[in-house]
Amino acid sequence: MQLQGKTVLVTGGTDGIGAQLIRQLRDKGATVITQGRNAKRVVATRDAGFEVVEADLSGLAGVESLLAAVKGRHIDILINNAGAGVDHDFREAAPDLAASDATIFLNLNAPIHLIAGLMPVLKARPEAMIVNVTSGLAIAPRAGGPVYCATKAALRSYSQALRYQLKDTGVHVLEALPPVVETKLTAGRGSKKMAPDECARQIVSAMERGADEANVGMVKLVQLIHSISPALVRKIMMRF
């Protein structure tokens, strides 16, 4: 897909991978609209020249607020990038179920609602794209993050089915599967992390190629091992 001249809506664009995505997309000549929920980061992103909608996508009200803010806009590309992790490890403590519910909504329900809300707009464009950012952990989970992994695995399944549904339309579905990236979400988790700008670069490249999947960095190896032995990759990934 040619990105120049396209209007792109990127969720979670005020930090991490999203902050790099919006800059690289703007450098490609796209008009970028983004969303964030941290007031200070929203202001900083606006100061950098971006159009930002302040909304919390961990609940339905925030999703509806974002959809209302872009109503009437000709969105060509929707990138569902916003996401969060949550502690949910019975070996450590009883989980916070309210936090788990909010994470499930943000990581899974919000993308589904945004896709449904914007589908008429996307289908009306000459060509359009939906990019769902999942994770290498959508392939095989780690023991300490079952809720996060479950939401990403569910969004992976949703993306695959949606791609099949839309194969005869002008709307392409790309799933991006990052490895562990240096963001606030992964603070304290190991030292071998991908830089967010490189992760974003690989996702943008996959968008331009019209790929079905962007297996970023080490996820390429995870996919290869999974193709040979799903049981082996599950055993490996559980330890992380």
Query: Any idea which residues carry the catalytic annotation?
Result: 148
Residue 52 CA to residue 78 CA, distance in Å, equals 14
Question: Residue 96: CA atoms inside 13 Å, Cβ hemisphere, count?
Answer: 7
Q: How far is CA 111 from CA 126, 143, 146, in A?
A: 22, 25, 19
The edge-to-edge listing of strands for the beta sheet with 128-133 is: 51-54, 31-36, 7-10, 77-80, 128-133, 171-177, 213-215
CB atoms near residue 234 (< 10 Å): 15
**Rounded (5°) CA angle 13-151-66:** 35
35 phi, psi to nearest 5 deg: -140, 145
Placement of tokens 């009200």 in the chain: 61
Q: Would you say how long the chain is, in residues? A: 240
Q: Is 110 within 8 Å of 212 (Cβ atoms)? A: no
Type of residue numbered 216: V
Q: Residue 71: which residues within 8 A CB-CB, separation 6 or more?
A: none
